Structure formats: C-alpha cells, structure tokens
Structure 1
Amino acid sequence: MSFQFNRGLFKYDFIDHHAVLCVPIDADVKEIRKRYVQIARRLHPDSCKDETDAEKQLANELLSKLVNPAYETLSHEKTRTEHIFVLSLIGKRLVQESVSVEFNSDVTQQLACAPHFEHIYKSAITKIAETQYDSLQQVQHTIASLSELNLVYTMRSAGKIFTAASLLIAQPEIPTYAPAVNQAPVISPPQKKDSVVVSYIRRAQNLIAQNQLAQARVELQDALKLEPNNSRCHSLIGVVYLKQNLTTSAKVYFNRALQLDPKDEIALAGRLKIEQMMGQKLSGAKRTASSHTRSQQPGKSGGGGLFGGLFGGKKK
C-alpha cells in the first residue's frame, strides 16, 4: 500500500514528517521521541489484537512507511535541521510568488488570519495529536490537514499576510465522472512553464554568487521538476556540487547537461575544471611544474571569466 497526499506541504514534493508525527515544527528531540513512542504503541501489533486483519496491516504499514521514517529524520539533529531548512525555503518561495492556498478547515482559516498565530498553531497541533491515530482509516486525512496547518504556519513565519478576501475556501470535490449540473468548470489559466523555470534559474544564479549553495540547489531541483531536460539547470547544479568539492556528483550533472546540449558553456567549463583539479591531484611532487602548466591554460589568469565567476572559491 502506498500513501498519497495532495494537500499542504505534500503538494510541493515535500514529505511533511512533522504532520506524520503531529509535532510542532520547532519541536525538540525530547518532544519528538515522546510523541513517537505514543504512536508506536498505538500501532504495535499487541495494540491491534481486537482489530481486523486489514486494520492490522494498515497499522503496520503506517508505522513502517510513515511513522518510522518521520522519526528517523526528525530525531537526528543534522537531518532535522536540513528538513526544517528546506521547509523554510518553501515557505519563503511561496510568499515571494504569492501562491494561493486553499483552506479545508476552520482552524486553518483561523491560523491564516489571527494576529498571534503561534499560539493557535501549537494549540491545534496538541488537540489533533490526542486522536490522530484513533481511527486508522482517517489517519491520511488527518495528516493532510496537519500538513495544511504546517504550510500556513510556515508561510506566516516567512512574513505572509493573509486577508479575508484572499482566502480560498476549498469546496467539496466533484467527481470527474459526474460534474455538477449547470455548473461551468473553473479552469485556471495555465502558467507559462518557461517563465517559471527562468525565474528559478535566475534566483539560483544569484544564490550561487552569494555562496548560498544549499538554497541554490533547492531552486534548481524545483526547476527540474518542471523541465527535467533543461541543460542549464543540470549544469548549474554541477556548479553547486563543484563549489562544495563534490566532484563526482558535479561531473554527473555536467555530463547530463552536455548530453542535452553539447555546447553548454557552463558544463564544458565545469568539466574542464574537474579535469584540471584531477590533474593537480595526480601531479603530487611535481607541483612546481604543474603550477607553471596551469598558468598557461586559458581562463585561469586573474580568476576571471566563467572560472572566476561561477567556479571561484567561497567569498569571505
């Protein structure tokens, strides 16, 4: 069984582990562990003796496919920090792009408009946690509702100001095979994909220039979801990895970029840079001769051109 979510942060290809465990985004390790133990006890086979075989299987899959991975991510300082960092980037990006958010519950609408949203957010999380896993059939719906809360909280934390006029109240879904009588379909105008990808690339290039490499990679990966065969996205991710000294990963992306566009200048320059770096490592004791050879190579003098702009060292 696979679990599908199409609300809240899940809509942006983000696995909302906080929603799975029903803990606030700023929860500490102690709080996360306490909540995990509560859920694990509820879903353990010994707690499901009186339930049907189907419910027992559902409990096992909820534990193994959702709850355990969520705890594994949030219980370690490094992965939790990275998870929250990416989450904050999503919130900032959605605020910058003025993305509309649908509200499927009263508490989400309240969270969007209340002045002191932090209190409402934490109170709602605490209340929902009391019954989140009581009905196994409702767990997916509850997680989706929690992720919607987390999305609104993240956007508000990033400075989003919702107004009553801007709220989109979700209507009950109408099955595609049975449209409502006399109701014209509402069709949103398609957003031009090219312009969105170009915006991602532009932001990524600015972030690379500021040496904000993790943020740049997120922007480029989002762009690739819209346009997987964009050679510039691949070449710029190669730049990010190269600046992080991850030459193997960088080479993979440069090669992919050149498969898509053999004339991609950034990818060509990046691959040449890797070859030069490998040559330096192999030279070993011949550093003096190697230094003289490099001084004769194009693009190395003064750190200018593509090498100086994109492949230069960290700014101080």
Structure 2
Amino acid sequence: MSLKIERGLFKFDFIDYHAVLCVPVDADSKEIRKRYLKIARRLHPDSCASASVEEKQLASELLSKLVNPAYEKLSQDKSRTEYMVVLSQMGKRLVQESASVDLSSEPARQLAAVPNVEQLYRSAIAKISETQYDNLSQAVKIIAYVSELNLVYLMRTAGKKFASASASAPPATSTPKTKTNTGQTAENTEATSSQHTTNKEDANVAQYLRRAQELMLKNQFAQARIELQDAIKLAPNNSRCHSAIGVVYLKQNQITMAKVHFDRALQLDPNDKEASEGKRKIEQFLGQKSGTTKPTASSSTGTKPADKSGGGGLFGGLFGGKKK
C-alpha cells in the first residue's frame, strides 16, 4: 500500500505531521505525547497479534514511516517551533497568492463555510482522532482529510474567505414589509433582533476577557488561555481576543503561537498596541537568541534593564489602566 498523500498541505510538498497524529495545529507537547502513545499502542505488533500478515506490515509501515517521524518532529520544542513558523508562513503565503484549493472532503468544505471556524475545526479533529487508525487500509485517506482541515484552518485564520462560504449560505429571501402593532416593519424588527444578538455576543466576549484578566493576575495562564480560546470561538475577528491570547502564549514561552495571534490581531486592527508590542518583544527575544541583537544603552553602562514581562510595563496595558 502506498503511503503517498497528495491532498491538503501534502499537496504543496509539505509533510503535515499534525495530520498524521490528528492533533490541532496549536497542540502542546503534552497533548502530542498523549496522542502519539495512543497511536503507537494501536500499531504495536502486540496489538496486531490477531491481524493478517498484510495488516501487520501496514501497521509497521505507518508507525515507522509516518507516526514516529511526526512525533520526533513535534515532540522537541526547537524542531516544533521551527516547523510551526514554516506552517504559519505557508498559510499566509497561500492566502497572499490566492492559491486555488480543491477541497475533496465534506468536513473541509464545511470548515471553509462556517463563521465559527475554531469550534468546528477542533471538534472535527477530536472526532476523527477517535477512529483514525481503526481501519488501517483507510489510514492514509483519513490523514489526507485531516490535512485538508488543517489547510483550511490555517488559511481561514490568515484571512482567507473561501468562495464556498458564500456559496453555501442560503439565498436571501424577500421579507414582506408588513406593519407590526408598534408601526415597525418586519424588516426593521429583524434588524433590531440582529443588533440584540450582536450586543449579547459582545457582552459575552467582555466576560471572557475579564475572567482571563483575573486569571492572568494570578499567573493561572493555562486557565486564562481556555477563556480566551472560548472568546475567539465566539468572536474570531476580535483583535483584542487575539492579542490577549498572544500574551498568554508568550507568558507560557510558546513563541510561535504568540506570534501567530499577534499577527492576526494586527491584521484585524493595525493599531493594536498590545499586539505590536508583543511582536517587538518576540523579535527582540529571537534576536538575542541568535546573538544578533545590538548592545543597548543599559547593557553598555552595566545597568539592568527594567523587567517588562510582569503586570506593568509590556503587557500591563492589556489588563490594567484606563479602558478605551
């Protein structure tokens, strides 16, 4: 059986290790290890004792040629960070080049069309992972499906609007302008209802942000991240949500994911100060790590630069100070 995959990110000469393990593209090391161990147990020779010779051979090939290399790449912080940078750049490049993407799976087409991309993406990945390697003869095909989901998700978060999104929407119907008891037309009533829904969503997002603020002040960044992920599910185009979760990722030393969300925040709002400052700190950090940062005035005089990673300074403005 051929292990060659030509759909999703694989189509662009890129090995989609996340698809092989069926984990979200922003999965952390613990989630990746947990998923790998589950797959490895499934494909281990002892688990295939009652299988046919062909199935045992296929299980061995899947484990040695796809699963083990994927885990090796994603389990190490350095290699995963480098890989995530390339992955993020690929999503942006495909959007900028207006690449034509042919989606062959129904889940990928649905993901291209829905407004709440985060929620459907994660639920689809979780659902597929339950049975990904149950039928070994279908494993490569399923990896291709997952890679299509990853491709759509990366492009959607980079600003891509698929034609299928508008095409799948139900056609607008003409609503008769019948007078209501209050003198409003039915059309105006619908507009008012829509406004109420928007206001309710804004209020919910504000609650998520407020809870995240309280958690960050207590250094409970994992819980704050969950709150902000829920906020992004509700308002995927809210720049403040993206800049806030970028701060959380930065606090957790997940530089790549922090940069992804800072970039998204600036794409939505070029004047987002928190995202701009976050990107500046990341660039400074990467420069220091590579040894290319120029000496600053404080370093030349022997004085210690002020620490701006705490509640004040760098990110203090996000959860403190005057509200805009």
What TM-score results when the alignment is normalised by the length of structure 2? 0.50
Q: Name the aligned partner's letter for residue 78 of structure 1.
A: K
Whole-Å separation in 2 of the counterparts to 1:7 and 1:103:
8
Cα gap change, 1:104/1:12 in structure 2, threshold over 3 Å: closer, same or farther? Answer: same
Q: Render the CA deviation track for 1:254-312: whole Å, top value 9, x for unaligned.
A: xxxxxxxxxxxxxxxxxxxxxxxxxxxxxxxxxxxxxxxxxxxxxxxxxxxxxxxxxxx
Asked if residue 162 in structure 1 is aligned to residue 143 in structure 2, the reply is no
Secondary structure of the residue aligned to 2:145 is helix
Secondary structure of the residue aligned to 2:40 is helix
CA-based RMSD of the aligned residues comes to 1.9
Contact 2:112–2:164 under 8 Å retained in 1: no
Cα gap change, 1:166/1:99 in structure 2, threshold over 3 Å: closer, same or farther? Answer: farther
Larger Rg, first or second structure (1 or 2): 1
Cα gap change, 1:167/1:59 in structure 2, threshold over 3 Å: closer, same or farther? Answer: farther
Contact 2:8–2:145 under 8 Å retained in 1: yes
Structure 2 stretches lacking a partner, 5+ long:
169-289, 292-324
Cα gap change, 1:53/1:95 in structure 2, threshold over 3 Å: closer, same or farther? Answer: same
1:58 maps to which residue?
Answer: 58
2:143 maps to which residue?
Answer: 143
Asked if residue 102 in structure 1 is aligned to residue 109 in structure 2, the reply is no
Deviation at 1:166, TM superposition (A): 7.7
Q: Render the CA deviation track for 1:153-212: whole Å, top value 9, x for unaligned.
A: 1101111111337879xxxxxxxxxxxxxxxxxxxxxxxxxxxxxxxxxxxxxxxxxxxx
Deviation at 1:130, TM superposition (A): 0.3
Cα gap change, 1:29/1:105 in structure 2, threshold over 3 Å: closer, same or farther? Answer: same
Asked if residue 120 in structure 1 is aligned to residue 84 in structure 2, the reply is no
Asked if residue 36 in structure 1 is aligned to residue 36 in structure 2, the reply is yes
Q: Render the CA deviation track for 1:201-249: whole Å, top value 9, x for unaligned.
A: xxxxxxxxxxxxxxxxxxxxxxxxxxxxxxxxxxxxxxxxxxx99xxxx
Contact 1:103–1:167 under 8 Å retained in 2: no
Whole-Å separation in 2 of the counterparts to 1:166 and 1:135:
35
Query: 1:226-237 maps to which residues of 2 (within 5 A)?
Result: none
Q: Render the CA deviation track for 1:54-106: whole Å, top value 9, x for unaligned.
A: 11011011001100000000001111111111111111111011111111122
Whole-Å separation in 2 of the counterparts to 1:76 and 1:130:
25
Query: 1:69-84 maps to which residues of 2 (within 5 A)?
Result: 69-84=69-84
Secondary structure of the residue aligned to 1:5 is coil
Deviation at 1:2, TM superposition (A): 5.2
Asked if residue 134 in structure 1 is aligned to residue 98 in structure 2, the reply is no
Cα gap change, 1:165/1:128 in structure 2, threshold over 3 Å: closer, same or farther? Answer: closer
Q: Which aligned segments of 4 or more residues in structure 1 are displaced greater than 3 angstroms?
A: 165-168
Secondary structure of the residue aligned to 1:140 is helix
Structure 1 stretches lacking a partner, 5+ long:
169-243, 246-316
Q: Render the CA deviation track for 1:17-36: whole Å, top value 9, x for unaligned.
A: 00000000000000000000
Identity %: 65
Contact 1:73–1:80 under 8 Å retained in 2: yes
